[in-house]
Amino acid sequence: MAMKSGSDYKESLKQRNINVYAFGEKIEEVTAHPLFQPHVEAASLTYELAFDPSTEDLVTAKSHLTNKKINRFTHIHQSTDDLIKKVKLLRLIAGKTGSCYQRCVGWDAMNATYSVTFEMDQELGTDYHQRFRKYLEYIQENDLMVAGSMTDPKGDRSLTPGKQKDPDMFVHVVEKNDKGIVIRGAKAHMTGIVNSHEMLVMPTMAMGEDDKAYAVACAFPVDTEGVIHIFGRQTNDERRTGDGGEIDQGNAKYGTVGGEALTILEDVFVPWERVFMCEEAQYAGLLVERFASYHRQNYGGCKAGVSDVIIGATTAMAQSSGVDKASHVRDKVVEMVHLTETLYCGSIACSCEGAATPSGAYYVNPLLANTVKQNVTRFIYEIARLSHDISGGCMATLPSEKDLNHPEVGKYVKKYFKGVEGVSTEDRMRIARLVENMTGGTALVESMHGAGSPQAQRVMILRQANLGHKVKLAKKLAGIKDKEKDL
């Protein structure tokens, strides 16, 4: 089959029999519901741009399995150039959507699973890698969107998976037979899963032998029997589903963040050919680490693209108020640009410093990748703060679009929220709502906790820091000879 266009992708979603709930109701058709349409549109752009000559080089690649042209979101990185193109691609699409386009998690999950299953087969004599290659070829041939599924609810976080009072707090194997396995549990914060085709389940943390039932990686369609998706609330979601207009939504076409859901796995059967890890607990940590580093690489790309839009919207707000030439405003915009480009530098650096794994697939520099995400947890908040500072309080207190268009009070809204000549009140309100949408609520929380909490990155940074080497460098310069034990 050929690569999907945006319209092909939307049509393919209608062929599923997915079980989705939102606002206490079962949703019959995701693509027709205003709550999900922005997420569908954002993901659709990842398909559409593959056919645009100006973006084709970034959005497509040649499959190392079939030598066919494929969408890059289904590609296994074969060089540092692939890793760099990934970051550039993410910034490009984020700048066009101002939101999450949801395919990165599955892409990173596929790359992590590809390399780890190869090493498992080499060391254990299993055939997980061959199974995964066949699955990957299926994904590439059909140009499918895969939802990476790692995060478990975790229950009591002071306890390991095997010691939870409720064993379902982590996805686990409850049955094995000659045809496959049965799994039970849930995956939380599932980005884009209601408008994906497949989900790729992975363990959520490093595990010991007592947790081996929880060391499972497998894949299946999002509409498999026993799979239930409960859509999460987002900032301004009622502005989409109510009878308001598009201005109040801020980013009416592409929405806010990535459309996350809680996905229940109620005794889901998975055939052996779709199982890529089953009770090999010693490899759970490696799979988590690979996935996390790939995913943290992304943030200097996608968040730089989103920040490009925030900087543009903030500048437009300043222009509409007549303060864009003020020295303190210009200085704050410079700081926003500086923070944005610093994030981008980090993602490019961890890509340039990537290296081949035993499978031949390329892996980012994990220390630099985790540093990128650690910076995102701080810099995006500062970019948002500076945007709020420049944009002014009106973005948080604006009357509604209905008031703007009201036959009696609309004239007052137009009069008293007017800024400089040449900029209409409506345009000023549109930009203010865009700033509000992109710098508050769900968007900021995702910057903090997406791809793992800040502490998770700090653990990885310390692990990768090679402190012993740094101590030796200092001792040598200080003229201290090594003793029996280094500090």
Nearest to 183 by CA among 142, 141, 227, 232: 227
At 236, the pLDDT band (50, 70, 90 cuts) reads: confident
Q: Which residues contact 269 (CB under 8 A, 6 or more apart)?
A: 179, 180, 181, 182, 224, 225, 226
What tokens were used for 60? 């497509």
Q: Please, what is the end-to-end C-alpha distance for the chain in angstroms?
A: 59
What CA–CA distance (Å, rounded) separates 152 from 442?
A: 20
Average pLDDT over residues 22-45: 95
- Give 487: exposed, middle or buried? Use CB within 10 Å, 0-12, 13-18, 19+: exposed
At 244, the pLDDT band (50, 70, 90 cuts) reads: low
Average pLDDT over residues 122-138: 98
pLDDT at 226 over 80: yes
| pLDDT, position 166 | 97
100 as an active site residue: the answer is yes
What percent of the chain lies above the pLDDT cut of 70? 99
What does the pLDDT look like over 250-279, one tens digit per residue? 999 999 888 999 999 999 999 999 999 999
**Range 57-66 burial, b when 16+ CB lie within 10 A, else e:** ebbbbebbee
What percent of the chain lies above the pLDDT cut of 90? 90
- Asked if 229 contacts 190 with a C-beta cutoff of 8 angstroms, the reply is yes
| pLDDT, position 487 | 47
Identify the residue whose tokens are 């490899």: 283
295 as an active site residue: the answer is yes
446 as an active site residue: the answer is yes
pLDDT at 483 over 80: no
Nearest to 405 by CA among 385, 424, 431: 424
| pLDDT, position 135 | 98
Identify the residue whose tokens are 């989103």: 306
The torsion angle over the Cα atoms of residues 302, 307, 308 and 311, rounded to 10 degrees, is 180
| pLDDT, position 423 | 97
- Return the CATH number of the domain spanning residue range 295-477: 1.20.140.10
Helices and strands in the chain: count of H runs, count of E runs: 18, 14
At 305, the pLDDT band (50, 70, 90 cuts) reads: very high
What CA–CA distance (Å, rounded) separates 38 from 98?
A: 11
Q: Which residue type does 442 have?
A: T
299 as an active site residue: the answer is yes
Choose the catalytic residue: 100, 218, 278, 350: 100
| pLDDT, position 240 | 86
What CA–CA distance (Å, rounded) separates 318 from 390?
A: 6
pLDDT at 485 over 70: no
At 234, the pLDDT band (50, 70, 90 cuts) reads: confident
- Give 329: exposed, middle or buried? Use CB within 10 Å, 0-12, 13-18, 19+: buried
What CA–CA distance (Å, rounded) separates 90 from 78?
A: 18
What tokens were used for 408? 């009696």
Choose the catalytic residue: 302, 344, 363, 401: 302
What tokens were used for 324? 């864009």
pLDDT at 206 over 70: yes
- Give 328: exposed, middle or buried? Use CB within 10 Å, 0-12, 13-18, 19+: exposed
> What are the phi and psi torsion angles at 126 (to 5°)?
-80, 175
- Asked if 183 contacts 235 with a C-beta cutoff of 8 angstroms, the reply is no
| pLDDT, position 484 | 57
Partner residues linked to 277 by β-bridges? 217
Identify the residue whose tokens are 């993901």: 43
What CA–CA distance (Å, rounded) separates 227 from 150?
A: 15
All structural domains of the chain with their residue ranges: 295-477
Choose the catalytic residue: 39, 77, 229, 295: 295
Choose the catalytic residue: 46, 60, 117, 191: 191
| pLDDT, position 334 | 98
pTM value? Answer: 0.94
Choose the catalytic residue: 128, 135, 283, 299: 299
479: left (phi over 0), alpha (psi -120 to 50) or beta: left
What tokens were used for 240? 């989409």
Nearest to 461 by CA among 286, 303, 208, 289: 289
What average pLDDT does the structure give for the chain? 95
Choose the catalytic residue: 74, 104, 114, 135: 104
Q: Say how many C-beta atoms besides its own lie within 10 A of residue 163's C-beta.
A: 12
Choose the catalytic residue: 289, 401, 436, 446: 446
pLDDT at 442 over 90: no
Choose the catalytic residue: 41, 260, 401, 436: 260
Average pLDDT over residues 162-181: 97
